[in-house]
Chain A
């Protein structure tokens, strides 16, 4: 990628009406793309952005590695006696925490994009309206998958040996990515609602810190005071952690899975609807 502006040699472009007329020659316009096709196309755009600005993947690699190392060694000895033992408990949780944290970049991406003219062009296209937003989420789902993979690899190196085997781990990651996809509608809404990138960031932190820390990621909630337990018990992140942990350990937690599914659907319906309202209003 060069940063120099391409300067036009004075002779490069001479307009020829014939060439343009040939291109404009009336061919019937194709039928509109399906909702799926439009969404996938926007997802492709997100992937192209990753290709052109690969630095943005730093967030989904370095940050999770740091979290995993930090918490394993910080709490491992104190909480479980040994880091390897603690890792079996912690890794699914830290994976959930990191990926859920990363979801906030969705809001920032939406917010920076809407300042630009290209967003206006998308909004004048005769396509399924939510497809622009679904496209962001599809691109983000790729990032979530990457972050999960990175954490899994770091975990394996550190001694994480899940009982669920390959299938259990894949199922766990699948549930995590699916929930994060649904959860991200919260951020598309804030991305459209708030004026600046900074405020999107601020709100994200306000929501994400309590949601991720006040959960069962680090310790078993039974050690917590009652009022805190009450919050932890309704926090969807706790249930997500429980579900992912169970899957990776070769089990199945019906209660947690139900919670995760219901809250995922609620996030999509409620915040998806609010997002589209804002999208159409702007």
Chain B
């Protein structure tokens, strides 16, 4: 049986007339990254704040590792840790002071808090900036310190609210690496993002939310295939045959073919509004064509559309209609 880090049903939070979270049901399996994907104002922060015990839900139920969010809030606080959307460290203090402060609040003795803080600063490349006030940190440094502060005690569940918004690609990659390392250590991560590729890369399951509702949920693969368009990825044995393969594929599929960075790989889009079955048929036709042309195919997959397309397809339509269609 899967252990769930978070289970919610009918979670609601209203601000005046705005239903920021309008009945969210989630089941977040333990031990992996769960992505919550949504545009500005979708209700991501509100949902995370409720799950981190910062906001009391207007209605609905939620359990974190089996503990009731409202009645056992204190127990939940012992399991979770939050890196908020906006810096959740003290800007007036130095990086080292921030970590010692939190270490002490988590129950470490002063020397242990210092030592642990120093090791985390080192692991996050902040040793040089340790004694500078956080307000002088760059965005990337601030984010890393913020995450470091969240894992002073290894939490069972870590909330990261838009951890890479506003970061340059390099800093974003660093955050991704950190997230992977933290998950490898058995922490469950709930990560919100507006970036589709981020959810795609990190998350093993994704909930797409819009206007406070889950409009789709599943693995990145399921989400993509639910939209019903896709691409064929082909790996050849011989890089020299790629030019010929490109021509054969574009003939067979009457669609543009894209050469991947890998010199033996190429991708052909399946055009139009094909059903999945149509895509499979087209794919087998393409494979036959390649074989007939004497091209050896090493590996083949019926790829899925990018999450970008999924997202647009889902959010352009009314959320209610989507619900029936996608959530399986």
Contacts and interface: CB of A to CB of B under 8 A. Distances in A.
Interface of A: 1-8, 10, 12-17, 19-24, 26, 29-33, 37-38, 41-42, 44-45, 48-49, 52-53, 116-118, 120-127, 281-282
Contacts of A37: 104
B281 interface: no
Interface residues of B, number: 65
A13 B53 contact: no
Given A7-B138, A23-B120, A118-B88, A15 B133 contact: no
A4 B136 CA distance: 6
Given A2-B136, A124-B77, A126-B77, A24 B88 contact: no
Interface in B132-184: 132-133, 136-138, 140-141, 144, 149, 151, 153-154, 170, 173-174, 177-178, 180-182, 184
A26 B184 CA distance: 12
Contacts of B84: 117, 120-121
Contacts of A42: 105
Given A24-B185, A121-B89, 6 more contacts: A4-B136, A6-B138, A20-B181, A22-B123, A32-B78, A281-B56
Interface of B: 49, 52-56, 74-75, 77-78, 80-82, 84-93, 97, 101-102, 104-109, 112, 116, 119-120, 122-126, 128-129, 132-133, 136-138, 140-141, 144, 149, 151, 153-154, 170, 173-174, 177-178, 180-182, 184-185
A81 B61 CA distance: 73
B90 A5 contact: no
Nearest to B173: A15
A2 B133 CA distance: 9
Contacts of A32: 78, 106-107
15 contacts: A2-B136, A6-B129, A6-B141, A8-B141, A17-B181, A19-B122, A32-B107, A33-B107, A41-B105, A45-B101, A118-B88, A118-B90, A125-B106, A126-B75, A127-B105
A282 B97 CA distance: 26
**Secondary structure dominating the interface of A:** loop
A118 B120 CA distance: 19
B50 to A, nearest CB: 12
A13 B138 contact: no
B74 A13 contact: no
B87 A6 contact: no
Contacts of B140: 8, 13
Contact of B88 (A8, A23, A121): A121
B97 A48 contact: yes
A24 B174 CA distance: 17
Nearest to A5: B136
A187 to B, nearest CB: 20
Contact of A24 (B86, B106, B126, B154): B154
A12 B128 contact: yes
Given A124-B54, A124-B80, A21 B105 contact: no
A21 B138 CA distance: 24
B138 A8 contact: yes
A8 B136 CA distance: 11
Contacts of A13: 124-126, 140, 144, 174
A266 B170 CA distance: 56
Contacts of B116: 23
A281 B70 CA distance: 12
B107 A123 contact: no
Contacts of B105: 33, 38, 41-42, 122, 125, 127
A14 B171 CA distance: 10
B122 to A, nearest CB: 7
Contacts of A7: 138
B87 A118 contact: yes
Contacts of A52: 92-93, 133
Contacts of A6: 129, 132, 136-138, 141
Nearest to B136: A6
Nearest to B174: A15
B232 to A, nearest CB: 34
Contacts of B119: 22-23
Which of A8, A12, A31, A124 counts the most B-chain CB atoms under 10 A from its CB? A124
A171 B144 CA distance: 48
A118 B87 CA distance: 7
Contacts of B93: 45, 48-49, 52
B125 A14 contact: yes
A22 B119 CA distance: 9
B53 A124 contact: yes
Query: What are the 4 tightest A-B residue pairs by CB atom distance, in nearest-first order?
Result: A13-B125, A117-B88, A30-B107, A121-B88
Nearest to A38: B105
Given A13-B125, A48-B97, A116 B91 contact: yes
Nearest to A31: B107
B82 A126 contact: no
A20 B182 CA distance: 8
Contacts of A5: 136-138
A115 B136 CA distance: 19
Given A24-B185, A45-B93, A121-B84, A33 B106 contact: yes
Which of A5, A21, A37, A118 counts the most B-chain CB atoms under 10 A from its CB? A118
B238 to A, nearest CB: 35
Contacts of A123: 53-54
Contacts of B154: 24, 26, 29
A49 B132 contact: no
Contacts of A281: 56
A15 B56 contact: no
Contacts of B74: 126
